[in-house]
Structures are given as structure tokens and as C-alpha cells.
Structure 1
Amino acid sequence: MICGGDTNQQVKVNGELVEQVATFNFLGSIIDNAGGSSQEIRRRLVMVRSSAIALTDIWKDRGISKATKIHIMDALVFPIALYGCETWAVGMTDKKKILALEMWCWRKMLRMSWKEHKTNEFVRNQFGEHASYAKK
């Protein structure tokens, strides 16, 4: 991959032409030639949504305490989103998507529909001291 500059350059190793790509997966993260993180962030958010939906039976189980569900969310769902985030260049659009997904996860866990018209602050208050990941 050639980042920036003339992308028509040809790279040869041992006489063989090396294929040029616009994106590639490196250590579980998507790297693109523009240097942005939006594609990787979108991919991570889709993975988080999928994992939270897969845990629907746990979220619906009234025999599991809210504290245990929070620990499950912290251990199984949010690490998927946060893997490799240290290297992301996060813009305002991406930050809003991350915050929206976090609230979606908490609402999913609480079995709270958006139709109930509860504010994000109300949802956060349901968790007491448990702060938002995006604000850390």
C-alpha cells in the first residue's frame, strides 16, 4: 500500500511486482491508504451490534442481576469496539456513531425501547457510577 503521494509507483521485491491495495487487514484492524479510521470504526460497530444481539437471551433473563449484565457487557461487547482504538483518528461523525451505539447497547441490555422516549441521561443514571466509554 502506498499512502499519499503518487499511487502509480510500482514496487518490486526480488524482481516480482508487489500488488497495490487500497485497504488491508493488519492484526485485526483495517488499514486504508487515506489514513482514516472511519471504515474500521464502522466495521467494529457492526461487530458490536451483532454481539449484543447474540446476547439477547441474557438481557431478557430476569434472574441475572443488572450488575452481572453490566459485567457481561464490559467483558464481551465493548472490548470488540475498543480493540485498536488507540490508533484511530476519530472525527465528530465517528464519535457520534460510537456514542449512539453505546447507548443502543445499554438500552438493549435494559430492554428499553427508543419508543419509550427516555433520555440518554436517564439511561446513564440507571447505571450509577458506570461512566460512558466514549467520554473516558
Structure 2
Amino acid sequence: MAKEETVLQGMIDRLIEIGRCYGMEMNVEKTKLMKISRQPTPATIKIDQKQLENVKCFKYFGSLLTDDGRCSCEIKSRMAMAKAAFSKKKNLFTSKLDLNLRKKLVKCYISSIALYGAEIRTLRAVDQKHSESFEMWCWRRMEKISWTDYVRNEEVLFRVSEQRNILHEIRKWKANWIGRVLRRNCLLKEVIEGKIEGRV
């Protein structure tokens, strides 16, 4: 990762040089390049006079990164995975089990898929709307309410004894994550300054 193309080219050249000392080569065909910007333009980075392929999206540690720097694609992708998981276990979620047990199963099994990595995402208004729509989709499917039944969201929430909670949950995760980052940084600073001994 680098802020300028020249810096990135220098880093790659150095990586190739060090790798060759140990008999390793970088595969140009498998190496991809993505420039993240509000107005993405292709970057020109070369390995042995061969230009790297510019891509618009990239999967990194299970999260989908896009060249516009937004999280909409990742959120939609996560919602699709969660819906697929719900459909696989549909018989369980729509069974005659106790309502509270089914709700706990949905929150544990489905919400964890949909909200994976949510603490580091930037939520725009449209993303918030998608998240709330997904939440209602889960409760409607759980109660076997079709969109053609014209049942209002308020009535669905009343039936399942729930409130709109997904955005509150995401905000709580964000606050916890920021707290962990700040505490870790303070601890690391104290270790570096020699105030305390130990590993971070």
C-alpha cells in the first residue's frame, strides 16, 4: 500500500529484489493492482516490463474492497450471504420452536454473517436503509409473511416482540472497536516509552 505510484513501484521493485535473493519470483498473472479514489483512474505499475492488471474490487481477509472506497458492495455481499444461510436453514427458523429460541438462532447464526466486519464500515444513508431492510426481511421470513400480504413493518415487529435494532448494534460494535484501538495505542505508547514492560 502506498499513497503515490512511484513509492509503490519502488516498494515492489525492492520486494522482487529481496525475493530473488531467496529464489522466489512474483507471479505477474496473479498479482493485481487497485487504486482507491473517488475518481479512480488506472495506475501503471510494472514487474519486469509487464504491467499489473488494474481491478475494481478485491477480496481481502473476507471483506470486499472497491476502488471507490465505499462499503456498499461489501454490505450487499454480506446481506446476500446471510440470506443464503437463512434459506439453507429455513425449516429451522420457520419451525414451531419457541419464538424466543428462533429469534436467538437468527441473531446468532444469520446476524453474525451479515454484520461481520461492520465495526469498520462507513454507513451512508443508503447502506443504513439496506441494513434495516435486511433486518425486516429476516423477521418476515421467520414469521412466513410474504411481501404480497401487505403487512406493515410495525405489525411484524409487534408479532416477533422486537424493535429495529441492527443500526444500534452496529453503533455499539463501532464504539467497542474504537475503545479497543485507543486502549491498545495507549498501552503500546507506554511500552515504547519504557513506562511499562511487556508485549502488546
TM range (shorter): 0.7 to 0.9
Supply the distance in 1 between the matched residues of 2:148 and 2:41 (Cα, whole angstroms).
Answer: 49
Matched, 1:52 2:102: no
Q: Secondary structure at the match of 2:122?
A: coil
**CA–CA separation in structure 2 for the residues paired with 1:34 and 1:105:** 30
* Distance in structure 2 (CA, Å) of the matches to 1:128 and 1:60: 16
Q: How far apart, in 2, do the equivalents of 1:7 and 1:115 lie?
A: 44
Instruction: Name the amino acid aligned to 1:42.
Output: K
Paired residue for 2:139, among 106, 109, 114? 106
Amino acid at match of 1:91: R
CA distance in 2, matches of 1:48, 1:11: 37
Q: Indicate whether 1:3 and 2:36 are aligned.
A: yes
2-structure distance, mates of 1:104, 1:8: 39
Distance 2:58 2:110 in 1: 24
| Structure 1: runs of 5+ lacking an equivalent | none
TM-superposed deviation, 1:9: 3.7
Moved more, 118-127 or 105-114: 118-127
Shift of 1:8: 4.3
The SS at the match of 1:44 is helix
* Matching residue of 1:120: 153
Matched, 1:37 2:71: yes
Q: Count matched residues.
A: 135
Shift of 1:127: 3.4
Q: Structure 1: how far apart are the matches of 2:126 and 2:40?
A: 29
Compare CA radii of gyration and give the structure with the larger one: 2
Higher relative contact order (CA 8 A, sep 6+): 1
Q: Provide, for residues 80-108 of structure 1, a one-character-per-residue CA deviation record: whole Å limited to 9, x for no partner.
A: 11011122222222211211111011111
Compute the displacement of 1:130 (Å): 5.6
With normalisation by structure 2, the TM-score equals 0.59
Per the normalisation by structure 1, the TM-score is 0.83
Residue 100 of structure 1 aligns to a residue whose secondary structure is helix
Distance across 2 between alignment mates of 1:50 and 1:21: 27
Q: For residues 8 and 46 of structure 1, what CA distance do their matches in structure 2 show? A: 29
Query: In structure 2, what is the equivalent of residue 73 of structure 1?
Result: 106
| Paired AA for residue 147 in structure 2 | W
* SS of aligned partner of 2:59: strand
Q: Calculate percent identity across the aligned residue pairs.
A: 26
> Per-residue deviation at 1:6?
7.5
Bigger CA drift: 39-48 or 107-116?
Answer: 107-116
Q: Please identify, of 80-89 and 118-127, the stretch whose mean Cα deviation from structure 2 is larger.
A: 118-127
